[in-house]
Chain A
Amino acid sequence: QQQVKQSPQSLIVQKGGIPIINCAYENTAFDYFPWYQQFPGKGPALLIAIRPDVSEKKEGRFTISFNKSAKQFSLHIMDSQPGDSATYFCAALITGTASKLTFGTGTRLQVTL
């Protein structure tokens, strides 16, 4: 049973565009939502994270939008660059418990010139 559903599976945008990656969850006990970025042949790296008490968080060109009532959150990449081409994973966690991070299935982003 997939607890975090991520879409789309792949995405191609032109340089300067704003790719949007969406994630949805069922378990309302989730209270920490990180995004990881993974380049080919490398391990994932934490990009940005949000808790459900805020609706938006920005770090540089990366923004997370969070809709608690819809149980959805999304990653926006402003002014996307070819160097942003990577696979992006959303994830969810229930803090203070057994602390198991549940990942989405990933979105492969390609930013073209």
Chain B
Amino acid sequence: NAGVTQTPKFQVLKTGQSMTLQCAQDMNHEYMSWYRQDPGMGLRLIHYSVGAGITDQGEVPNGYNVSRSTTEDFPLRLLSAAPSQTSVYFCASSPNGGPYEQYFGPGTRLTVT
């Protein structure tokens, strides 16, 4: 199993540009989530999904959209990038329908200039 994969690993955007961070898992996990990690702030939940077709907001959802059309994929869209969205983004998946044992991807480091 590849586990949780994320692409790209690094990305630089200009303010106002849009992009999609890709996340895929091959473990047939129902629960998937997106976090951002900033120095001194830990990991903060952006959006999560408990199954295909079901998504919900986390702690810091503004400026981000998600969709879950399949069990495997959970892309995160930045609608109009802002410097405040410079961060490391992690996707995670979990069996058991909730974030009890999350498997994290390797992360995407995003810089917005």
Contact = CB atoms under 8 A, between A and B. Distances in A.
Contacts of A9: 40
Nearest to B33: A101
A69 interface: no
User: Chain B: interface residue count, which band?
Assistant: 20 to 34
Interface string B27-50: 000010101000011111100101
A77 B112 CA distance: 38
A46 B56 CA distance: 23
A9 B44 CA distance: 17
Interface stretch (A14-22, A37-45, A56-64, A78-86): A37-45
A105 interface: yes
Nearest to B9: A41
A93 interface: yes
B56 A103 contact: no
Interface in A1-27: 6, 9
A89 B44 CA distance: 12
User: Chain A: interface residue count, which band?
Assistant: 20 to 34
Of the listed residues B50, B90, B100, B101, the one surrounded by the most CB atoms of chain A closer than 10 A to its CB is B100
Of the listed residues B35, B40, B104, the one surrounded by the most CB atoms of chain A closer than 10 A to its CB is B104
Contacts of A32: 100
Contacts of B45: 100-102
B98 A99 contact: yes
Contacts of A106: 40, 42
A99 B106 contact: no
Contact of A43 (B41, B44, B90, B100): B90
Given A34-B100, A42-B107, A93-B100, 18 more contacts: A34-B101, A41-B106, A41-B107, A43-B4, A44-B43, A44-B104, A45-B103, A46-B102, A49-B100, A89-B43, A99-B97, A99-B98, A99-B99, A100-B45, A103-B35, A105-B40, A105-B42, A106-B40
